[in-house]
Amino acid sequence: MLYSMLRATIIFSILIFGAAALSAQDDVAQFQPLMRAAVQASGALRAAITAKDTAAGATAANNEAAAFDKIAAFFEAKHVDDAVKFARGASDAAKAVAAATTSDDQQAAAAKINPNCGGCHAAHRAGSNGSFSIK
pLDDT tens digits, residue range 75-115?
999 999 999 999 999 999 999 999 999 999 999 999 999 99
Dist. CA 31–CA 2, nearest whole Å: 43
Instruction: Give the integer Cα–Cα distance in Å for 93 and 78.
Output: 23
The reported pTM is: 0.77
pLDDT of amino acid 126: 72
pLDDT at 22: 44
Domain hosting 35: range is 28-132
With a cut of 50, say whether residue 61 has pLDDT above it.
yes
What domain count does the chain have? 1
54 within some domain: yes
Categorize the per-residue pLDDT at 50 as very low, low, confident or very high, splitting at 50, 70 and 90. Answer: very high
Q: Is residue 15 part of a domain?
A: no
Query: What whole-number distance in Å separates Cα of residue 91 and Cα of residue 26?
Result: 24
For the chain, report the end-to-end CA distance as a whole number of angstroms: 39
Q: Determine, yes or no, domain membership for 85.
A: yes
Q: Is residue 91 part of a domain?
A: yes
User: Would you tell me how many other CB atoms lie within 10 Å of the CB of residue 62?
Assistant: 17
